[in-house]
Amino acid sequence: MSRQLSQQEIDAVFQNISEHKREAPAVKFDFRRPDRIPKSQVRAIHLLHDTFVRNLVSSLSAYLRSYLTVNLVSVEQLSYAEFLDGLPSPTCIVSLGLSPYDGNGVLELNPSLVFPILEMLLGGTGKSSASIQRDITEIEQRLLDGLFRIILQDLREAWKAVTNVDFTIESMETEPQLLHLLAPNEAVVSIGIEVRIGETVGMMNIAMPSIVIKMMRQKFDQQWSVRKTHASEAEQRRVLRVLRQASLFLEARMEGPTLTVRDLLGLREGHLLSFDYPVERPIELMVNGTHKFTGQVVSTGKKRACLVDLVRPTQSQGRMMEDAELEDGPGSGL
């Protein structure tokens, strides 16, 4: 049965629609940052630079001949202007080529790190507490070339897990605002790394254009699919089959009393050398020189043997016993 709606009923319908619109949350979208990458890719970049940080610790420690610690602090997406605003001035900032990809990245090293490192490269201790705020000279820039070569080499090796990127130094500046590589509103992925050398602490910051990283999305997807394949049960069984053919050196040791060189040289045929080792005491079993198991001395026929006591790592209880035959005779493998 059809009828016409009254004006009051029509007003009520429009009023309900208006109330639902007010309740719906508004989501802001920044049209100035169209190149932002998904969070899954940001997490992959975080794992990638975890590897870079671990390699950098050993490389810089050997190069500077000093103990240091390197920690990955943050991986986030910023605008290029926000990234530059967070850098000190003056500082040491480098423009990076990203061949074969178009565009440039940025590598910045705080002055709180640069001048102690320069002091160490010139034979000092790098423990000077004085805070130096000045531009880096051309001679000092040349001294830092070796340092940047090591950093970029470890960066290349870390990125090989995804794709080959040839990081190269194109220019070096001391004022962040003078490095006009990208538009101020262009999105970048900022990687913050803390470096501690003794009492000296400073930051190393890396920025890469988000649009370049978006071009690598397929590479990142391939990386994770390969990792998933390697972690499959079939691959684990294949690796186990390969490992089963490996050879290990097993040695059973009875640690007895020690002898002086004089007594050792005085031994003659017919002398009896006592091990002074109780039969009930467990024997140490060494696998490739590392103590792995214990065992007990037993006999099998005319031969001595060692009964291996091996507790499976996947069980809290239960034992697997294996017999390892040892040759009989004086001074045997026991």
**pTM of the predicted model, to two decimals?**
0.57
Among the listed residues 213, 169, 161, the one whose alpha carbon sits nearest the alpha carbon of residue 187? 213
Task: Find out whether 154 and 53 touch, Cβ atoms under 8 Å.
Answer: no
Distance, in Å, from the CA atom of 176 to the CA atom of 162, rounded to the nearest integer, reads 29
| pLDDT at site 128 | 63
Q: What is the pLDDT of residues 93-146, one digit of tens each?
A: 999 999 888 889 999 999 888 888 988 888 887 776 557 778 888 888 888 999
Rounded mean pLDDT, 190-204: 90
Q: How far is CA 144 from the centre of its chain?
A: 24
- Write out pLDDT tens, residues 20-51: 555 555 556 555 555 577 888 888 889 889 99
Domain boundaries defined on the chain: 39-227, 248-254+276-326
Please name the residue that has the structure tokens 């060189």: 261
Q: Please, how many CA atoms are within 13 Å of residue 111, restricted to the half-sphere of its CB?
A: 18
Of the CA atoms within 13 Å of residue 1, those in its CB half-sphere come to 0
CATH class of 39-227: alpha beta
Which pLDDT belongs to residue 136?
A: 86
Cβ neighbours of residue 320 closer than 8 Å, sequence gap 6 or more: 310, 311, 312
What HEC string does the chain produce? Answer: CCCCCCHHHHHHHHHHHHHHHHHCCCCCCCCCCCCCCCHHHHHHHHHHHHHHHHHHHHHHHHHHCCCEEEEEEEEEEEEHHHHHHCCCCCCEEEEEEEECCCCEEEEEECHHHHHHHHHHHCCCCCCCCCCCCCCCCHHHHHHCHHHHHHHHHHHHHHHCCCCCCEEEEEEEECCHHHCCCCCCCCEEEEEEEEEEECCEEEEEEEEEEHHHHHHCHHHHHHHHHHHHHHCCHHHHHHHHHHHCCCCCCEEEECCCCCCCHHHHHCCCCCCCCCCCCCCCCCEEEEECCEEEEEEEEEEECCEEEEEEEECCCCCCCCCEEEEEECCCCCCCCC
Does residue 178 have a pLDDT over 70? yes
Is pLDDT above 60 for 323?
A: no
CB 334 within 8 A of CB 326: yes
* Residue 321 pLDDT grade (very low, low, confident, very high; cuts 50, 70, 90): very low
pLDDT, one tens digit per residue, over 276-320 is 777 777 888 888 878 888 888 888 777 878 888 765 443 333 333
